[in-house]
Amino acid sequence: MGLLNNILDRFNKAEFTVAPNKKLKSISQEFKSNFDLTLVFYKGSAIADATMTLAALDKRTTKKANTKAEGLKIKGSMKVGDAEKLFDKHFGVTVQIKDKTGKKLVPNGITIGQASREEY
């Protein structure tokens, strides 16, 4: 089933797009809706206030957030670590992907699809 699931992840229509002007709460809710995983934004080493936008987060951290970046797309076939790096590369923000309860970090070496199916 693992190989079949990985192939299906590539063709799954669930695709998550991030626009820089959305609130962190909205981005996290859409991520949860698409992948049944928790997306957590950080302001420095602390969890960011979910009511903030990426622009507001930029004003509260020493790391420069790129709020003018174009949206990015994340698919279930991407590795967790690669998706987290994309947020840093595109927007200059730190994120962590956690399980659906938001309590455990998901391993970086598995795909988002595998994480959503709890295959770790």
Model confidence over 82-111: pLDDT tens digits? 999 988 888 888 999 999 999 999 999 999
Least confident of 8-17, 39-48, 67-76, 103-112: 8-17
Q: What is the pTM of this model?
A: 0.80
pLDDT value at 68 more than 70: no
pLDDT value at 71 more than 70: no
Task: Tell how far CA 27 is from the center of its chain.
Answer: 8
Percent of the chain with pLDDT over 90: 42
In angstroms, the CA 99 to CA 36 distance is 8
Give one DSSP letter per residue of 3-55, joined into a string. HHHHHHHHH-S-EEEE-TTSBHHHHHHHHHHHHS-EEEEEETTEEPPTT-BHH
- Cβ count within 10 A of residue 2: 9
What's the mean pLDDT in 19-33?
A: 88
